[in-house]
């Protein structure tokens, strides 16, 4: 992959440098020049065995690495990974009809080879005007093609595209603010900053005064001050980002509302975390959220009582073989039986939240194939009540099998649970028995006829000998 270049560095952009975190510095064998294309071709794809298929985040483009395509992707990848800002669903109810989507990746690829990450953005703007309205796609297959960070993610800060949309609503007629205030859309702040020396503040000819300055928003400062070609937004009190457009009340209002909502969600979350922090597991007696390793910091919520355990402990207890089922399937504290444990990252004891959690959990399990059922090849002991998916190889859900556990008394009068016995098994053996008895019957008749051939006296003597036995019947 690392091809030599005159300066001793590879002509491939260092992946760590790309994200601003290369520890090797000047000793790195990969290029630290942002104009060099990064190698984003999927190595597994080249081997012909990428498990992600269409959903792979890397390029599935064979061996030709088009420069622009790579850069376009870099820009996108950086955006999605670094722009950890809030993305909100598009506000259709605002009366804004066509989502103003940023251009597709193709449009970036088509653009000329880039000098800096800033340049294509100007291009994007123009492309956007002609881009076809397209609703937000949330499916995992589509997200890689999406220009902006996909909605549905948890709030982590303020973001660009949605406000862009909001503004699009407000100033649609003017057709002056096509795509957003955020000139750096499609490129990371870091990328933008790094590129700045190469083309000061992007290309001034392509800047739009109505766009908010990306430097001020991203880094909190803009080196160009008043001379900046972009608008310097007012700082939002809630999120501390210079994101409020001074001349666009709709955008300001929208942002304030979203910021408030996000703040409330954050608060709720913090309360839950605070409530969970002190909780200790009744089995290992550790504070659940401080357990090592980090993977063990999960609660196992019991269905029918509110005693707190960590997931690993309660699962281990419920699997204990040395005790009877009735003991281990009960809560170790109160001995109330629960049929299953629901994993949760936070402690839940409010009945409503618990119900929601359990429903969500069951729903999530329904999408996973059952290991016992194994696409119809195996047999699931839980049958219809199994939480997992009983799908056949063609994807259809298997019809339920009426296989209920039966109970019967055995010879000692004890009650037994009988599994895996079907009526059909009996019918088959009954049929077999009947066939055999028919053969036996016909043999008997033949015997009888043979007997008839003998004289009566002999027959009588024989029956006398059997008298004692006959009386038993």
Per CB under 8 A, residues contacting other proteins are 282-286, 307, 313, 316-317, 320, 322-324, 327, 330-333, 335
CA atoms within 13 A of residue 381's CA, in its CB half-sphere: 2
Beta bridge partners of 287: 280
Q: 322: which 2 tokens?
A: 């040395």
- How far is it, in rounded angstroms, from Cα 24 to Cα 432? 80
The residue written with tokens 């599994």 in the block is 419
Structure token pair of residue 452: 């008839």
**In the complex, what is the shortest distance from the CB of residue 317 to other proteins, in angstroms, rounded to a whole number?**
5
Please report where in the chains the tokens 């038993």 appear, as a residue: 472
| Between 199 and 316, CB nearer to other proteins | 316
Q: What is the enclosing helix (H) or strand (E) of 343?
A: strand 341-344
Q: How far is the CB of 101 from other proteins (least distance, A)?
A: 53
Residues with Cβ < 8 Å from 5, sequence gap 6 or more? 11, 31
The three-class DSSP label of residue 153 is coil
Which residue's CB is nearer to other proteins, number 289 or number 313? Answer: 313
Instruction: Pick between residue 267 and residue 320 the one whose CB is nearest to other proteins.
Output: 320
Task: Match 């729903």 to its residue by tokens.
Answer: 363
Give the H/E segment covering residue 71.
helix 67-82
- Is 184 or 308 the residue whose CB approaches other proteins more closely? 308
Place of tokens 């939240």: 353
How many angstroms from the chain centroid is the CA of residue 273? 22
**Minimum distance between the CB of residue 328 and other proteins, rounded to whole angstroms?**
9
As a whole number of angstroms, the distance between CA 201 and CA 213 comes to 9
Token pair belonging to 115:
């000098």
* Pick 125 or 307: Cβ nearer other proteins: 307
Nearer of residues 94 and 279 to other proteins, judged by Cβ? 279
Q: How far is the CB of 387 from other proteins (least distance, A)?
A: 24
Helix locations, 337-407, DSSP H = 351-366
**Residue 316 Cβ vs other proteins, minimum distance, rounded to whole Å:** 6
CB of 305 to other proteins, least distance (A): 11
Least distance in angstroms from the C-beta of 336 to other proteins: 11
Nearer Cβ to other proteins (321/404): 321
Q: Rounded to whole angstroms, how far apart are CA atoms 263 and 253? A: 15
**At its nearest, how many Å lie between other proteins and the CB of residue 323?**
6
Q: Which is nearer to other proteins, 222 or 314 (CB)?
A: 314
| Nearest CB to other proteins, comparing residues 121 and 302 | 302
Burial of 165 (0-12, 13-18, 19+ CB in 10 A): buried
Helix, strand, coil distribution of the chain in percent, nearest 5: 40, 10, 50
Shortest Cβ distance from residue 321 to other proteins (Å)?
10
């Amino acid at each position: 992959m690392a091809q030599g270049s005159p300066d001793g560095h590879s002509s491939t952009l260092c992946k760590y440098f790309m994200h601003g975190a290369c520890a090797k510095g000047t000793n790195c064998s990969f290029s630290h020049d942002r104009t060099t294309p990064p190698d984003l071709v999927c190595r597994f794809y080249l081997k012909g065995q990428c498990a992600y298929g269409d959903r792979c985040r890397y390029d599935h483009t064979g061996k030709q690495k088009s420069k622009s395509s790579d850069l376009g992707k870099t820009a996108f990848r950086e955006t999605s990974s670094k722009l950890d800002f809030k993305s909100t669903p598009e506000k259709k109810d605002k009366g804004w009809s066509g989502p103003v989507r940023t251009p597709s990746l193709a449009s970036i690829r088509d653009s000329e080879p880039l000098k800096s990450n800033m340049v294509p953005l100007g291009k994007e703007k123009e492309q956007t005007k002609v881009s076809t309205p397209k609703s937000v796609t949330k499916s995992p297959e589509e997200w890689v093609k999406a220009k902006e960070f996909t909605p549905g993610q948890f709030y982590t800060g303020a973001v660009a595209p949605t406000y862009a949309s909001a503004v699009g609503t407000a100033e649609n007629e003017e057709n002056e603010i096509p795509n957003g205030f955020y000139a750096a859309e499609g490129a990371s702040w870091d990328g933008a900053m790094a590129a700045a020396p190469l083309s000061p503040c992007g290309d001034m000819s392509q800047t739009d005064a109505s766009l908010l300055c990306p430097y001020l928003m991203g880094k909190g400062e803009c080196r160009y001050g008043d001379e900046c070609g972009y608008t310097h937004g007012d700082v939002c009190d809630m999120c501390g980002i210079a994101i409020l457009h001074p001349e666009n009340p709709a955008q300001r209002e929208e942002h304030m509302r979203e910021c408030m909502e996000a703040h409330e969600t954050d608060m709720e979350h913090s309360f839950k975390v605070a409530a969970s922090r002190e909780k200790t597991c009744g089995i290992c007696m550790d504070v659940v959220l401080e357990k090592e390793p980090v993977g063990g910091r999960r609660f196992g919520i019991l269905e029918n009582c509110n005693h707190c355990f960590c997931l690993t402990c309660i699962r281990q207890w419920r699997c204990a073989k040395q005790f009877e089922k009735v003991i281990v399937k009960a809560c170790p504290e109160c001995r109330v039986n629960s049929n299953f444990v629901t994993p949760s990252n936070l402690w839940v004891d409010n009945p409503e939240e618990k119900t929601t959690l359990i429903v969500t959990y069951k729903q999530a399990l329904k999408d996973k194939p059952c290991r016992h059922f194994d696409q119809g090849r195996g047999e699931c002991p839980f049958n219809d009540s199994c939480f997992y998916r009983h799908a056949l190889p063609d994807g259809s859900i298997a019809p339920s099998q009426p296989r209920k556990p039966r109970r019967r008394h055995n010879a000692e009068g004890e009650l037994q649970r009988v599994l895996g016995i079907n009526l059909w098994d009996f019918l088959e053996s009954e049929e077999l028995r009947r066939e055999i008895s028919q053969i036996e019957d016909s043999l008997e008749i033949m015997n009888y006829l043979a007997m008839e051939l003998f004289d009566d006296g002999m027959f009588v003597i024989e029956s006398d000998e059997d008298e004692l036995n006959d009386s038993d019947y």
